[in-house]
Amino acid sequence: MSKEYAEKWLWIMRKCPKPRYFWYSRSWRIPEIATVLEQMAALKCCRAWYSLDSETGIPEKIPPGVKLAYLQVSEDTPPEMIDLMFRVRRLRKQPRPRIGLTILPVCPNEVNKEITCGGCQRCFS
Ligand code: SF4
Protein backbone atom coordinates (compact mmCIF):
# COMPACT_ATOMS: atom_id res chain seq x y z
CA MET A 1 0.00 0.00 0.00
CA SER A 2 1.18 3.51 -0.78
CA LYS A 3 0.17 6.74 0.93
CA GLU A 4 -1.62 7.81 -2.26
CA TYR A 5 -3.62 4.56 -2.38
CA ALA A 6 -4.64 4.94 1.26
CA GLU A 7 -5.62 8.58 0.66
CA LYS A 8 -7.86 7.54 -2.23
CA TRP A 9 -9.67 5.06 0.01
CA LEU A 10 -10.01 7.71 2.71
CA TRP A 11 -11.52 10.04 0.14
CA ILE A 12 -14.00 7.33 -0.95
CA MET A 13 -14.98 6.57 2.64
CA ARG A 14 -15.68 10.22 3.32
CA LYS A 15 -17.62 10.71 0.08
CA CYS A 16 -19.63 7.47 0.46
CA PRO A 17 -20.03 6.83 4.19
CA LYS A 18 -23.09 4.57 3.95
CA PRO A 19 -21.32 1.26 3.26
CA ARG A 20 -19.30 -0.27 6.03
CA TYR A 21 -15.63 -0.54 5.21
CA PHE A 22 -13.15 -2.78 6.94
CA TRP A 23 -9.52 -3.48 6.37
CA TYR A 24 -6.49 -5.20 7.77
CA SER A 25 -3.12 -3.59 7.22
CA ARG A 26 0.51 -4.01 8.17
CA SER A 27 1.22 -0.53 6.82
CA TRP A 28 0.72 1.00 10.28
CA ARG A 29 4.49 0.64 10.52
CA ILE A 30 5.00 3.32 7.84
CA PRO A 31 4.42 6.69 9.50
CA GLU A 32 3.11 8.53 6.42
CA ILE A 33 0.55 5.78 5.77
CA ALA A 34 -0.30 5.35 9.45
CA THR A 35 -1.51 8.96 9.51
CA VAL A 36 -4.04 8.16 6.80
CA LEU A 37 -5.07 4.87 8.43
CA GLU A 38 -5.75 6.73 11.68
CA GLN A 39 -8.09 9.10 9.85
CA MET A 40 -9.93 6.12 8.34
CA ALA A 41 -10.22 4.43 11.73
CA ALA A 42 -11.84 7.56 13.16
CA LEU A 43 -14.72 7.31 10.65
CA LYS A 44 -17.96 5.74 11.83
CA CYS A 45 -18.22 3.72 8.64
CA CYS A 46 -14.82 2.08 9.05
CA ARG A 47 -13.62 -0.95 11.01
CA ALA A 48 -9.87 -0.83 11.18
CA TRP A 49 -7.48 -3.65 12.03
CA TYR A 50 -3.75 -3.42 12.43
CA SER A 51 -2.21 -6.72 11.36
CA LEU A 52 0.53 -8.05 13.56
CA ASP A 53 2.76 -11.07 13.42
CA SER A 54 6.08 -12.17 14.83
CA GLU A 55 7.94 -9.85 12.42
CA THR A 56 5.94 -6.63 12.79
CA GLY A 57 6.31 -6.03 16.49
CA ILE A 58 3.64 -4.14 18.40
CA PRO A 59 2.46 -0.60 17.61
CA GLU A 60 3.66 2.03 20.07
CA LYS A 61 0.22 3.57 20.12
CA ILE A 62 -3.16 2.18 19.17
CA PRO A 63 -5.31 4.95 17.68
CA PRO A 64 -9.01 5.17 18.55
CA GLY A 65 -11.06 2.76 16.48
CA VAL A 66 -8.17 0.44 15.73
CA LYS A 67 -8.17 -3.21 16.78
CA LEU A 68 -5.29 -5.63 16.65
CA ALA A 69 -5.26 -8.89 14.71
CA TYR A 70 -2.41 -11.35 14.98
CA LEU A 71 -1.41 -13.99 12.45
CA GLN A 72 0.35 -16.93 14.04
CA VAL A 73 2.50 -18.90 11.61
CA SER A 74 4.66 -20.84 14.05
CA GLU A 75 4.87 -21.47 17.77
CA ASP A 76 5.41 -17.77 18.42
CA THR A 77 3.54 -16.24 21.33
CA PRO A 78 1.11 -13.45 20.38
CA PRO A 79 0.89 -10.34 22.53
CA GLU A 80 -1.85 -10.49 25.13
CA MET A 81 -3.58 -7.30 23.99
CA ILE A 82 -4.73 -8.61 20.62
CA ASP A 83 -8.41 -8.53 19.71
CA LEU A 84 -8.38 -11.39 17.23
CA MET A 85 -6.04 -14.10 16.10
CA PHE A 86 -5.70 -16.16 12.95
CA ARG A 87 -3.57 -19.28 12.72
CA VAL A 88 -2.15 -21.02 9.69
CA ARG A 89 -3.90 -24.29 8.90
CA ARG A 90 -1.37 -26.62 10.52
CA LEU A 91 -1.74 -24.85 13.89
CA ARG A 92 -5.54 -24.94 13.99
CA LYS A 93 -5.83 -28.37 15.59
CA GLN A 94 -3.83 -27.25 18.59
CA PRO A 95 -5.61 -26.02 21.70
CA ARG A 96 -6.54 -22.38 21.63
CA PRO A 97 -3.51 -20.34 22.65
CA ARG A 98 -3.56 -18.75 26.06
CA ILE A 99 -1.37 -16.38 28.00
CA GLY A 100 -1.68 -17.14 31.68
CA LEU A 101 -5.40 -17.52 32.28
CA THR A 102 -6.37 -15.54 29.19
CA ILE A 103 -7.55 -17.57 26.20
CA LEU A 104 -6.73 -15.56 23.11
CA PRO A 105 -9.62 -14.79 20.74
CA VAL A 106 -9.30 -16.98 17.66
CA CYS A 107 -11.34 -16.54 14.48
CA PRO A 108 -14.38 -18.76 15.18
CA ASN A 109 -14.27 -20.20 11.65
CA GLU A 110 -10.94 -21.85 12.49
CA VAL A 111 -12.61 -23.76 15.30
CA ASN A 112 -15.94 -24.49 13.64
CA LYS A 113 -16.30 -24.36 9.85
CA GLU A 114 -20.04 -23.91 10.20
CA ILE A 115 -19.46 -20.44 11.63
CA THR A 116 -19.27 -18.12 8.66
CA CYS A 117 -18.16 -14.51 8.45
CA GLY A 118 -21.78 -13.51 7.88
CA GLY A 119 -22.78 -15.18 11.11
CA CYS A 120 -19.77 -14.05 13.11
CA GLN A 121 -19.27 -10.47 11.81
CA ARG A 122 -16.49 -9.84 14.29
CA CYS A 123 -14.22 -8.29 11.69
CA PHE A 124 -16.70 -5.74 10.44
CA SER A 125 -19.40 -5.16 13.04
S1 SF4 B 1 -15.78 -12.30 10.54
FE2 SF4 B 1 -15.47 -13.83 12.12
S3 SF4 B 1 -15.33 -15.76 11.00
FE4 SF4 B 1 -14.98 -14.11 9.53
S5 SF4 B 1 -12.72 -13.84 9.48
FE6 SF4 B 1 -13.59 -12.38 10.98
S7 SF4 B 1 -13.42 -13.43 12.94
FE8 SF4 B 1 -13.24 -14.99 11.34
Domain positions in the chain are: 3-120
* Ligand 1 binding pocket includes 120 (Cβ within 6 Å): yes
Q: Which of 22, 20, 88, 103 is nearest to 54 (CA)?
A: 88
- 67-119 pLDDT, tens digit each: 999 999 987 888 889 999 999 988 888 877 777 777 888 999 998 899 999 99
Distance of alpha carbon 2 from its chain centroid, rounded?
18
DSSP one-letter string for 68-119: EEEEE-SSPPPPTT-SEEEE-GGGTTSPPPEETTEEP-B-HHHH-TT--HHH
Close Cβ partners of 103 (under 8 Å, ≥ 6 residues apart): 96, 97
Q: Is the model's pTM score more than 0.85?
A: yes
| Ligand 1 probe mutation, 70, 121, 124, most atoms within 8 A of CB | 121
